[in-house]
């Protein structure tokens, strides 16, 4: 079952956030510190109260098998850009023990349906270079490249 996260989910979400961070740390140890998480328990609780922030969880009988952190972003009356509402996926994770069980697909489809329901024009996200499984998954879900971020490392 996919539902919005609740405070009793925080400890399980923190474990998933650690898994996500370690994927990123292995890809880019020059950027990502090991053994930490993007948010702490207090920050997660605050995000759960923010109306522009959504945290969906895949709950299997009290066990959180995946999560998706989403932000509603809106552009209005911009000089250059059209008015647009976007659902940005900030973080998505499926527990290592549940991969291959279509948890990610169910989360993504839930996000897509939710975004359509609230009148979003698109869904966006970022994928780190080298995270081939994530890139392949998102392409399989119908996503394509919107823009490319580039860097040059100076040391």
Q: How far is CA 43 from CA 10, 47, 117, 152, in A?
A: 10, 6, 27, 32
Is the CB of residue 69 less than 8 Å from the CB of residue 92?
yes
- Residue 103's pLDDT is 97
Sign of CA dihedral 68, 145, 34, 22: positive
Rounded distance between C-alpha atoms, residue 135 and residue 66, angstroms: 17
Enumerate long-range contacts of 104-110, CB under 8 Å, 24 or more apart: 104/66, 104/137, 105/141, 106/2, 106/58, 106/66, 107/2, 107/56, 107/58, 107/66, 107/67, 107/68, 108/68, 108/141, 110/2, 110/56, 110/68
Show the DSSP H helices in the chain as ranges: 10-27, 41-49, 103-117, 132-140
pLDDT per residue as tens digits for the range 25-60: 999 999 999 999 999 999 999 999 999 999 999 999
Q: Cα angle at 145 between 20 and 25, to 5 degrees? A: 20
Confidence of residue 3 (pLDDT cuts 50, 70, 90): very high
Question: Model-level pTM greater than 0.85?
Answer: yes
pLDDT per residue as tens digits for the range 85-136: 999 999 999 999 999 999 999 999 999 999 999 999 999 999 999 999 999 9
Sign of CA dihedral 60, 21, 27, 108: positive
């Amino acid at each position: 079952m996919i539902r919005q996260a609740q405070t009793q989910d925080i400890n399980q979400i923190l474990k998933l956030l650690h898994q996500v961070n370690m994927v990123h740390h292995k890809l880019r140890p020059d950027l990502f510190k090991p053994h930490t998480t993007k948010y702490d328990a207090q920050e997660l609780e605050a995000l759960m109260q923010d109306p522009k922030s959504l945290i969906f969880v895949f709950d299997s009988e009290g066990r959180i098998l995946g999560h998706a952190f989403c932000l509603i972003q809106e552009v209005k009356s911009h000089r250059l850009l059209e008015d647009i509402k976007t659902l940005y996926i900030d973080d998505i994770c499926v527990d290592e023990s549940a991969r291959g069980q279509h948890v990610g697909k169910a989360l993504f489809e839930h996000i897509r349906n939710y975004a359509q329901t609230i009148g979003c024009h698109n869904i966006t996200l970022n994928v780190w270079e080298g995270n081939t499984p994530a890139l392949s998954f998102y392409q399989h879900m119908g996503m394509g490249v919107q823009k490319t971020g580039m860097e040059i490392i100076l040391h």
